[in-house]
A and B are shown apart, each in its own frame.
Chain A
Amino acid sequence: MSENTSRTPVNLQSVRESDPHLQPAAKNPVVVERVIALNFIAAMLSFVGFLWAYIVNAQAWKLGATFGGGMTFLGIGLIAWGKYLMPRGPFVEERHVLASTQGERDAMSDAIVKRGGGVIQRRKFLGGLLGGSMALVGAASIWPLLRSLGPLPKGTLFHTDWRKGAFAVDQSGRRIHKNDLAVGSIVTVFPEGKQDTDNGQAVDQTVLIRLSNEHFTTQKGRESWGPHGYVAYSKLCTHLGCPVGLYEQQLQLLVCPCHQSMFDVTNGALPNFGPAPRPLPQLPLYIDSNGYIRAQSDFHEPVGPGFWERA
């Protein structure tokens, strides 16, 4: 058989009707044909419904049901057509060997090594200059590209906006008075003026808890940090920086809902469960002459999760 005849398209009608492999796979093609027709009709009706739903701005589920239903009917009909009523195989196709002969491979290697390499071999100095300038332009474009993507971290991660004397305010900016919280209550506070800023919300967020009516010492050396039973901890979990948003009042634990780290607020917020490796940093507080709660200073250590530069 010649190349030419093998590519001559043959009309379906020229194939013998009796050829068993052109018979439908379905035992009863008429039934299958009807089922497929029903699917296509259902698809058309669904799409009419979809158009209607779109025009009258119907609810999302009506749009989805008509569109999805129509597509499903269409798909089932077309697959059934292909599966049951089209010529059956199996047909076969030969695989070509993709690999070339050794001679052809050598010819290609030769072109690269001898012809191309030879050019550079003869002009080593020019080749060096070409390589050098390409390396330089690469380095020169990568560095500013990286560098202009953001500021350098520098000291940013080591301090927050809490300063000596900063008023603790809630999210609406209201200063917290020493009589505001009942024992066992909790509120999220920010340094005054920062409650609406991105950095204030993401970095300065602090939980203020009233643990008792008297001075509360959470750890040795923090005797003056908890006036009138008010203690404050950074709200950033030391595991991955989620806000430590749950307070288990009975057990006096702060719980992070992300990965369930738990911090004992009566004991310096030491973690007693979960993957957090460090206690939440505590903010030293004092109460001014008007009864407002203020910070003695910034946190004494970086807040949030660990990073390389952290000591």
Chain B
Amino acid sequence: MSDAIATKRSKREARGPYGRVGTAINELDERLGIAKGGRTFLDKIFPDHWSFMLGEIALYSFVVLLATGVFLTLYYIPSSAIVTYKGSYLPLYGQHVTQAFASSVDLSFSVRAGLLMRQMHHWSCDIFVGAMVVHMARVFFTGAFRKPRETNWIVGLSLLILAIGNGFLGYSLPDDLVSGTGLRIAYSIMESIPLVGTYLGFFVFGGNFPGTSMIPRFFILHVLIVPLLIMGLVGAHLFLLVRQKHTQFPGPGRTENNVVGSPMFPVFMAKTTGFLFLVAGVVGLLGAFAQINPIWQFGPYDAARISYAVQPDWYMGFLDGALRIFPAWSFHSFGHTIPLEVTIPAVVLPGIIFNLAFAWPALERKFTGDNAIHHLLDRPSLRPKRTAAGAAVLAFLMILFIASSTDVIANFMHLSLSSVLWAMRILTFLVPLITYPVTYYLAKEMQHAPGSGKRKTTNVVSRSATGEYLAESAPAYDEDVHHELVAKTVPTFIEADLDSDNGVRKVPR
């Protein structure tokens, strides 16, 4: 008995103060040398700001996309072979539909949790793209794309394009009436490109629309090739983030040479894991209570049929709006046609917008001559021109997005289609033109009011011993001070160097 206890105790003592974890770390470190880097990683500091969480929403909705997507691939059949639908949804019973459509309906109605998974997949896609756009706007307006982070801006923008593309591919896979119409439009857009358009369309679709290979090809692109590219680029995005360390807003104790915030372990890890659960939870609740893309109501795709008020997923809205309001300017000459009414809004316009976004960091470096390394973020009001330009582009895209529902607006407001169309055409130019100066002067105004949002304090006039009068304003009211920005003496898990740098304790490396 006592021997056994003694053995247990001696075993425990032999393990040292860190128990089994310590043993595991020792074993791993002997083989892989993980302790040094691992400790650095656990100590890694993440700055705290609510806007830094937008990228996390994108990342975690991508995690949800992967998980629900794997579930869907187990039941979805990527085939355009015609079958007779004999599933449990009676209105479609006995209809001749493609296997892709039949399996999409079946996985919604006959597979346990299938409908929930489909709706969660669709919702997390819409949230994924949305979070990326808002995250990108944050990065843009705070100047986080500046040197040395231009590469990560380009990686992020590529991720956005891939996500939009993959969203469109996935939207097409159920082969329902609405998605088929979207594909028809995509095909016609490819066809509109001068010189190579018809070849491009034939090669992508395997022949004239609808071709023979659309569903299997788009399936493998959607579930394998594009997700692999996205995962690779997400890896690169995060690697660069870790390597270059996160940016931070200026504040007491925060300099270009440090990062102030919470340590990776355990604070950031707890918060970010909690956030993963929260994103999954919200997507789950949306999947439960908010119906999305009810393909059984649209019915199977039939090239000769169409539904009223057809709209794509939200991130395609600006393209659809541009196609609606662009005038019918087809160009014919020398025996050739350039369908400008399609090429300009659907090819040239997104080309310009995305290329401008890709080039923006380089353009800004060139025009401002600012070639310095930046780790502290700009407050948007301090860069009125950039902020105004970004706001104008967003306003332009927003109007195009609204223009993608001209018919619905006309119906709802009892206006003629023609007046809605012309209103949109005018607003497309007018709103960005107004947005730019309004944003610019608002930003300027905010610059000149550094105490904006704070109450005025008393001016204390005092006379010195030599008879000199001094006027000083009293300190700000306590409630007006942003305490979270005031640095404190900081503890660490490490017996740290107590030399304080602006009141913030350093973690020595």
Contact = CB atoms under 8 A, between A and B. Distances in A.
The answer on A and B forming one complex is yes
Interface of A: 1, 5-12, 15, 19-22, 54, 57, 60-65, 67-83, 86-87, 89-96, 98, 146, 149-153, 156-157, 171, 188, 190, 198-199, 201-203, 205, 235, 239-243, 245-246, 257-261, 271, 273-278, 304-311
B94 interface: no
Contacts of B269: 82
Contact of B281 (A68, A149, A151, A309): A68
Given A6-B508, A307-B191, A243 B306 contact: yes
Given A243-B304, A275-B328, A308-B198, 6 more contacts: A72-B285, A74-B281, A91-B263, A95-B258, A241-B188, A258-B310
Given A73-B281, A95-B258, A308 B336 contact: yes
Given A65-B288, A89-B490, A258-B185, A277 B507 contact: no
Given A68-B287, A78-B277, A19 B491 contact: yes
B273 interface: yes
Interface in B362-390: 375
B31 interface: no
A91 B496 CA distance: 11
B329 A277 contact: yes
A109 B194 CA distance: 43
Contact of A72 (B205, B282, B323, B324): B282
B274 interface: yes
A6 to B, nearest CB: 5
Contact of B253 (A8, A75, A92): A92
29 contacts: A5-B495, A21-B488, A21-B491, A54-B113, A60-B115, A63-B288, A64-B119, A68-B284, A69-B284, A70-B281, A71-B277, A75-B275, A82-B271, A86-B267, A90-B261, A92-B507, A93-B44, A95-B245, A150-B202, A152-B202, A201-B302, A242-B181, A242-B184, A246-B308, A258-B310, A275-B341, A304-B188, A307-B198, A308-B196
B297 interface: no
Contacts of B206: 149-151
Given A81-B270, A81-B274, A90-B260, A153 B339 contact: no
A201 to B, nearest CB: 4
B210 A305 contact: no
A52 B501 CA distance: 56
Contacts of B204: 149-150
A95 B375 contact: yes
B113 A156 contact: no
B391 interface: no
Interface in B77-94: none
Interface string B484-508: 0001111111111100010011111
Contact of A241 (B184, B266, B273, B326): B184
B508 A308 contact: no
Interface string B462-489: 0000000000000000000000000111
B406 interface: yes
B258 A241 contact: no
Contacts of B262: 89-91
A181 to B, nearest CB: 17
Nearest to B329: A277
Contacts of A242: 181, 184-185, 306
Given A89-B48, A277-B330, A308-B197, A239 B341 contact: yes
Which 9 A/B pairs are nearest by Cβ-Cβ distance? A64-B288, A68-B284, A75-B278, A78-B274, A72-B281, A71-B281, A82-B270, A306-B339, A75-B277
B7 to A, nearest CB: 26
Contacts of B337: 306-311
Nearest to A262: B417
B504 A92 contact: yes
B497 A241 contact: no
A155 to B, nearest CB: 11
Contacts of B213: 150
Interface size class on chain B is 35 or more
B126 interface: no
B148 A98 contact: yes
A89 B261 contact: yes
A67 B496 CA distance: 44
Nearest to B114: A60
B125 interface: no
B261 A91 contact: yes
Given A7-B39, A72-B277, A199 B243 contact: no
Nearest to A199: B208
Contacts of A171: 304
B365 to A, nearest CB: 17
A80 B274 CA distance: 9
A241 B209 contact: yes
Contacts of A91: 45, 260-263, 490, 492, 505, 507
Contacts of B189: 240
B202 A153 contact: yes
Given A61-B289, A73-B281, A150-B207, A240 B185 contact: yes
Contacts of A8: 494-495
Nearest to A206: B304
A71 B191 CA distance: 46
Nearest to A244: B306
B414 interface: no
Contacts of A9: 18, 39, 493
Contacts of A152: 199, 202
A275 to B, nearest CB: 5
B192 interface: yes
B332 interface: yes
B278 A89 contact: no
A241 B180 CA distance: 12
A102 B36 CA distance: 28
Contacts of B191: 305-307
